A and B are shown apart, each in its own frame.
Chain A
Amino acid sequence: SAVISQKPSRDICQRGTSLTIQCQVDSQVTMMFWYRQQPGQSLTLIATANQGSEATYESGFVIDKFPISRPNLTFSTLTVSNLSPEDSSIYLCSVGDRGNTEAFFGQGTRLTVV
Chain B
Amino acid sequence: QKEVEQNSGPLSVPEGAIASLNCTYSDRGSQSFFWYRQYSGKSPELIMSIYSNGDKEDGRFTAQLNKASQYVSLLIRDSQPSDSATYLCAVNPGTYKYIFGTGTRLKVLA
Contact = CB atoms under 8 A, between A and B. Distances in A.
A96 B42 CA distance: 19
B22 interface: no
Contacts of B34: 102-103
B44 A43 contact: yes
A15 B98 CA distance: 31
A94 B32 CA distance: 17
Nearest to B8: A40
B43 A96 contact: no
Interface stretch (B57-65, B68-76, B77-85, B88-96): B88-96
A77 to B, nearest CB: 18
A42 B98 contact: no
Contact of B88 (A33, A43, A96): A43
Contacts, number: 52
**Which secondary structure characterizes the binding site on chain B?**
loop
Contacts of A48: 96-97
A87 B23 CA distance: 29
Most buried by B among A43, A92, A106, A110: A43
Interface of B: 31-32, 34, 41-46, 49, 51, 88, 90, 92, 94-98, 100-103
8 contacts: A42-B88, A43-B88, A45-B97, A96-B98, A97-B96, A98-B95, A100-B32, A103-B34
